Amino acid sequence: MSSSEQCPLCKGVFDEATTTITVDFGVGVIVVRHVPALVCGQCGEAWLDDNQAENIEGLVEEAKSQKNEIKVIDLAA
């Protein structure tokens, strides 16, 4: 998906921005801040590219294996 495409939810225009992803995995929660994404200027929905999605999945798996109840990661740091 590129910034030139329309949002599939509302047909708004995407802007390159960052977003916060929160994942509740049952025994804990991970919050990942400043994730690069395409964000719809109309509805605010964020879309991650495949590499970012895989990165988030890896961070969640790591938090699960460390048995973190709450973990906050700032990708901008």
Q: Is residue 8, in this structure, part of any structural domain at all?
A: no
The pLDDT of residue 74: 94
For residue 31, the tally of other CB atoms under 10 A from its CB is: 13
Range of the domain at 64: 14-74
Q: Is residue 40, in this structure, part of any structural domain at all?
A: yes
The pLDDT of residue 2: 60
The pLDDT of residue 76: 87
CATH for 35: 3.10.20.860
Q: Is residue 6, in this structure, part of any structural domain at all?
A: no
The pLDDT of residue 60: 87
Name beta bridge partners: 19.
35
Q: Is residue 9, in this structure, part of any structural domain at all?
A: no
pLDDT in tens, the chain (77 residues): 666 688 999 999 999 999 999 999 888 899 999 999 999 999 999 999 999 999 999 988 888 899 889 999 999 87
* Number of domains forming the structure of the chain: 1
Q: Is residue 55, in this structure, part of any structural domain at all?
A: yes
Query: Cα–Cα distance between 14 and 60 in angstroms, integer?
Result: 26
